[in-house]
C-alpha cells in the first residue's frame, strides 16, 4: 500500500536519525524549516513529527523546538511499529513452508518435536486401553470430554488462571483454538496488535478473518516497551492483543511478571480483549512454570475477555491434534463457533489423551523435555558460534525448543543453500509482515544430537557462515 506524504516524510526522518545524522539530544529542524527543506505543507510536517514523537524518536522542549530522544539507540534497535490495513499470506510463504516441511530434508526449520522426545511407547499402550471404552465411537460432549476438561481446568488453575471445566472448549490443536477465540471477539476490519516476530501460522488466521494488524517489535534487552505499547493503543484502538507471553515462537522470549501486569492493566483500562498462545508454557528451562498473561487480568462480565489457547502438540504429539481454549467469560461464543464447524471433537483421541494422563507420568515427561531442550539449546548455540567464528548472533531462549539466529546472510537464500546439504531452516521473513527479519532464521533443536545431525550443523556453519566477507548486520 502506497505511503502518504507524511508517512514517507516520517520514514525519511527516521532514517536520518538511525544513520546518526542527528544524534541523541540534538535539535532537529523546526516545522517551518522542514517544510522548506522537504517542500511539503505545514500539515504534512506536523503529522510526520507527531509519528516521530509517538514512536519515541523525538521530544518537544517548550519554546525551544524538537530534539532527538535521549538513548535513541535503545529505540531504533529492531523493526519499527507498522500498521497494515490487510494481511496477505502470499504464495511465497506457502512455497517456503513446503520446503521447510519437506520430509526428504532434515528439518531444522519446522517447530515440530522429534519422535525421540515424544512418549510414543506409552501412547501406543493407551491406544489399546482407549478402544475398550464403549462410548468411544459416539460423537461425545459438544465442548469436549468432561473428564479431560476437568483435568485441564485443575492444571490451568494451578498456574493462576482459575477456570472450571465448563469454561474450556476442546479444539483440534492450538491454531484452531486461536482462530475460534479471535472469531469470538472480532469482526472484519477490526485491528489486532501482535508482537514481531511471531508464529507464521497466525498470519493466515488474520488474513482469513480480514483483520487489520499493528506489529509491535521486541526491543533488544527489554522485550515489549510498555510506553510504546500504550501509544499504539491510543492511536490504533485495537480490539484484541494476540500474544505469546511465555517463550514466543520464534525467539523464545519470556515476559517477566512486571511486564505481564503492565500489559494486563492497559488491556483492562482500554477494554481490549486478549488471545494468548501458551503452547510452549510448559517447556521452561529454569524455576517454576511461568504464569500465563491472562492470569494477571482483572475479570468482570462487562470487561475485556481473555482466552488462553494451547495444545499437546509440542509435548505429547502434533498428530493427536488436541488443543483447547480456556476462557472465563467467552466460552459461550467460542463453543457456538465450534458447533458451527463440527458437531464434536475427535472423541477417540480425547479418550486416548485422558488415558495417558491417568498414568500420571506427564509431569515426569515434561521434566525430561525441559532438561533435554535446555541442554540441546546450549549445545547448538556453542557449536554454531564456534564453527561460524562468531558470525552469528543467537537469542538465548528461556524455554521451548527453537533458536532465533541473526546473520549477515539473507534467510530466504540461506534456505536454498541449506537445501543443497539435505536440510531445511525457517527463514526470518516468515515471522513478520515487515522485512526486518530477512537476515534471521529459526532452528529447531529437538532434531537431536546424533553424529549425522552434528555433521550437518558443522557443514552448514562452515559453508554459509564462516569466512564470509560480508559486513555484519548486528
Which pLDDT score, from 0 to 100, does residue 344 have? Answer: 84
Residue 375 grid coordinates: 541442554
- Band (pLDDT 50/70/90 cuts) for residue 353 is very high
Residue 36 grid coordinates: 522548506
pLDDT tens-digit readout, 385-409: 999 888 888 989 999 999 999 988 8
**Buried residues in 332-366 as b, exposed as e (16+ CB within 10 A):** ebbbebbeeeeebbbbebbbbbbbbbeeeebeebb
pLDDT tens-digit readout, 16-44: 786 556 778 889 999 999 999 889 999 99
Cα separation values, 423 from 101, 225, 379, Å: 10, 36, 19
In this structure, the number of other CB atoms found within 10 A of the CB of residue 390 comes to: 10
- Band (pLDDT 50/70/90 cuts) for residue 290 is very high
Phi-psi region of 400 (alpha: psi -120 to 50; beta: other; left: phi over 0): left
Is the pLDDT reported for residue 75 higher than 70? no
- Band (pLDDT 50/70/90 cuts) for residue 137 is confident
Beta pairing, strands 273-277 & 240-243: parallel
Those residues whose C-beta lies under 8 Å from the C-beta of residue 295, and which sit 6 or more positions away, are: 159, 160, 161
Domain locations in the chain? Answer: 5-68, 82-88+119-358, 363-464
Report the distance separating Cα 194 and Cα 432, nearest Å: 10
Which pLDDT score, from 0 to 100, does residue 88 have? Answer: 84
Say if 82-88+119-358 and 363-464 have the same CATH topology. Answer: no
Sign of the CA dihedral with 242 first, then 246, 249, and 250 last: positive
Average pLDDT of span 426-452: 91
- CATH architecture, domain 363-464: Alpha-Beta Complex (3.90)
| Domain 82-88+119-358 falls under CATH 3.40.640.10 | yes
Report the distance separating Cα 171 and Cα 466, nearest Å: 45
Is the pLDDT reported for residue 157 higher than 70? yes
E-strand ranges in 42-157 read: 58-61, 65-68, 82-84, 106-107
pLDDT tens-digit readout, 209-234: 999 999 988 866 567 878 778 888 98
Domain 5-68 is in which class?
Answer: mainly alpha
Amino acid at each position: 500500500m502506497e505511503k502518504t506524504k507524511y508517512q514517507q516524510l516520517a520514514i525519511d526522518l527516521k532514517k536520518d536519525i538511525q544513520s546518526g545524522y542527528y544524534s541523541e539530544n540534538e535539535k532537529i529542524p523546526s516545522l517551518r524549516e522542514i517544510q522548506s527543506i522537504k517542500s511539503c505543507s505545514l500539515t504534512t510536517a506536523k503529522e510526520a513529527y507527531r509519528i516521530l514523537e509517538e514512536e519515541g524518536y523525538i521530544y518537544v522542549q517548550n519554546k525551544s523546538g524538537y530534539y532527538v530522544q535521549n538513548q535513541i539507540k535503545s529505540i531504533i534497535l529492531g523493526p519499527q511499529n507498522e500498521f497494515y490495513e490487510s494481511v496477505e499470506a502470499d504464495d511465497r510463504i506457502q512455497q517456503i513452508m513446503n520446503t521447510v516441511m519437506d520430509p526428504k530434508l532434515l528439518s531444522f526449520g519446522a517447530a515440530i518435536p522429534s519422535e525421540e522426545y515424544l512418549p510414543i511407547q506409552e501412547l501406543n499402550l493407551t491406544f489399546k486401553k482407549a478402544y475398550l471404552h464403549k462410548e468411544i465411537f459416539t460423537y461425545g460432549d459438544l465442548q469436549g470430554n468432561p473428564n479431560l476438561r476437568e483435568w485441564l481446568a485443575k492444571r490451568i488453575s494451578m498456574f493462576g488462571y482459575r477456570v472450571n471445566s465448563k469454561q474450556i472448549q476442546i479444539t483440534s490443536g492450538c491454531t484452531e483454538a486461536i482462530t475460534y477465540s479471535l472469531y469470538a471477539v472480532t469482526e472484519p476490519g477490526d485491528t489486532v496488535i501482535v508482537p514481531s516476530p511471531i508464529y507464521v501460522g497466525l498470519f493466515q488466521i488474520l488474513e482469513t478473518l480480514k483483520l487489520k494488524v499493528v506489529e509491535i517489535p521486541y526491543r533488544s534487552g527489554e522485550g515489549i516497551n510498555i510506553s510504546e505499547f500504550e501509544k499504539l493503543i491510543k492511536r490504533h484502538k485495537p480490539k484484541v492483543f494476540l500474544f505469546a507471553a511465555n517463550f514466543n515462537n520464534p525467539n523464545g522470549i519470556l515476559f517477566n511478571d512486571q511486564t505481564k501486569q503492565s500489559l494486563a492493566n492497559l488491556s483492562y483500562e482500554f477494554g481490549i480483549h486478549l488471545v494468548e498462545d501458551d503452547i510452549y508454557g510448559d517447556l521452561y528451562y529454569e524455576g517454576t512454570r511461568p504464569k500465563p498473561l491472562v492470569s494477571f487480568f482483572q475479570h468482570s462480565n462487562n470487561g475485556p475477555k481473555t482466552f488462553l489457547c494451547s495444545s499437546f502438540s509440542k509435548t505429547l504429539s502434533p498428530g493427536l491434534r488436541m488443543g483447547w481454549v480456556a476462557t472465563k467469560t467467552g466460552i459461550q461464543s467460542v463453543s457456538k463457533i465450534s458447533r458451527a464447524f463440527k458437531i464434536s471433537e475427535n472423541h477417540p483421541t480425547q479418550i486416548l489423551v485422558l488415558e495417558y494422563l491417568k498414568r500420571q507420568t506427564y509431569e515426569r515427561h515434561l521434566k525430561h523435555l525441559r532438561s533435554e531442550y535446555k541442554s540441546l539449546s546450549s549445545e547448538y548455540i556453542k557449536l554454531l558460534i564456534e564453527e561460524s567464528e562468531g558470525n552469528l548472533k543467537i537469542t538465548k531462549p528461556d524455554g521451548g525448543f527453537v533458536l532465533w539466529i541473526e546473520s549477515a546472510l539473507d534467510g530466504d537464500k540461506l534456505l536454498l543453500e541449506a537445501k543443497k546439504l539435505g536440510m531445511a531452516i525457517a527463514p526470518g521473513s516468515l515471522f513478520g509482515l515487515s522485512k526486518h527479519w530477512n537476515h534471521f532464521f529459526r532452528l529447531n533443536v529437538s532434531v537431536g544430537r546424533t553424529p549425522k545431525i552434528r555433521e550437518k550443523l558443522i557443514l552448514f556453519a562452515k559453508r554459509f557462515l564462516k569466512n564470509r566477507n560480508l559486513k555484519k548486520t548486528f
